[in-house]
Amino acid sequence: MAADLAPFTELTGIGVNIVTLELSALAQKVALDFASGNGEYDVVYADPYLVLAPYAPAFADLRAFQEDPALPGLPGGFGDFIPSHLDAAGRFRDGDKVLALPYDCPTMVWQYRADLFEKHRDRMADDLGFDPMPSADSTWEQYFATARWFNDRTDDVQYGTGHKAKQHDSLMCDFSNLLWAYGGDYFDDGPAVGRLGTDDPGPCRLRSERAVAGAEFYERLLSVADPASRTWDWDGVGSAFRSGRFAMCPNWHEYAAANEQAMPGKVGYARLPKGPVRSAGMYGGTGIAVSDTIPPGRQKAAWLFLAWATAPRTQVTVLASKVGGGTPTRTSVYARQEVADAAHRPSKMPNMLSSDAVRDTWKPGNIGLRPKIPMWGECDTALFTEVSRMLAGDTKPAEAMQEPPTVSTASSPEGG
């Protein structure tokens, strides 16, 4: 988006200055801006967990702009956004208010060296007793066995799998896929807490047998993964995969463009494997919102930017960008012929190569939604700290799941 803002300025006469920050720094900047009332930022990249949930009262309800006859409306209205995205990235508690428009939608899928799977498929099937090619029936136990096969039976790669298991937010994301696959969750009614959010999620459920089983499997899986996994966040594991260190990994689907540039035609994509309960892939999408601390005139200008930045035409342009491009959050964009065609090689929009896998992951039964609560930052840190200790051998899975504290009511501060 930042690489091609000229069309918006030409259309409206409004200049746009984008301040790019690491996510935790962004959350701190926004918190200070809201608390001071200075209104420095008109549009905010409102991460659902670190920004939208804690500071929801400081964002304007976008329905007022959409219903204002003096302002341009959204093409297709709110209903054109993928419903789970609009709820998870755009709402907090209230199912009617819209506080942000879904802007991006990174989601974790299974990325694998299709060339190596094809090369060794028959031998792997004979050795393992199942077809190793990723499919809707693939399980995490099969993923584990396949990873170990690559470790032991071929020199094409050093390891079978790699993970973003650094003591970092990335570890929470990687682990959560297994937690949900095994039927565990963070709180009661996890899907609702993840989709709309709440101030009071009730007691923590990480102590359940299913959550512990997910942690036990994750510990076992990491024991056969590339040892460098414990030093990688998402950028690290993505770079290592593209360098040919390992055969497969869970990672954000929007790395497809970089994968295709580094290894054209060699990478395949699938929904993550099933556990005993379901398949789950972490959704990491975020919306863009209008600050309610700025004057009405600036709010209307900010609305123009939101409407333009999320418009179908703009989403297609961004998808085709030479600097990588994001993937669409609107249903109508996926229905366009040039976008549908890009899901197959040769592709002019290489991030679409993962579209079948990610759209399967977005189905209600497969999407992984972390808790959208004001205190998620603290919970996240507790979780990835204890799981990191578990991977280091300092604690057992059951002990690690005992550590994260129970979260009780946490109210959103008025105006941040």
Is a pLDDT exceeding 60 seen at residue 416?
no
Say what the pLDDT of residue 385 is. Answer: 96
Say what the pLDDT of residue 326 is. Answer: 82
Specify the pairing of strand 108-113 against strand 267-270.
antiparallel
Conformation bin of residue 393: beta by default, left when phi > 0, alpha when psi is -120 to 50:
left
Using one digit for the tens of pLDDT, what is the confidence trace for 7-66? 999 999 999 999 999 988 999 999 999 999 999 999 999 999 999 999 999 999 999 999
Using one digit for the tens of pLDDT, what is the confidence trace for 70-115? 999 999 999 999 999 999 999 999 999 999 999 999 999 999 999 9
Say what the pLDDT of residue 408 is. Answer: 46
Q: Which residue, 358, 308, 325, is CA-closest to 110?
A: 358
Q: Which residue, 409, 412, 401, 410, is CA-closest to 186?
A: 401
Written as one letter, the residue type at 41 is Y
For residues 105 and 82, is the Cβ–Cβ distance under 8 A?
yes
Dihedral of CA 356/362/365/370: which sign? positive
Is a pLDDT exceeding 50 seen at residue 318?
yes
Q: Where does the pLDDT of residue 2 fall: very low under 50, low under 70, confident under 90, or very high at 90 and above?
A: confident
Counting residues of the chain whose pLDDT is more than 70, the rounded percentage is 97
Q: Is the previous residue joined to 227 through a cis bond, with omega within 30 degrees of 0?
A: no
What is the rounded CA–CA span in Å between residue 353 and residue 361?
14
Which pTM does this prediction carry?
A: 0.94
Q: Where does the pLDDT of residue 174 fall: very low under 50, low under 70, confident under 90, or very high at 90 and above?
A: very high
Q: Quote the mean pLDDT of the chain.
A: 94
Using one digit for the tens of pLDDT, what is the confidence trace for 182-226? 999 999 988 899 999 999 999 999 999 999 999 999 999 999 999
Say what the pLDDT of residue 404 is. Answer: 53
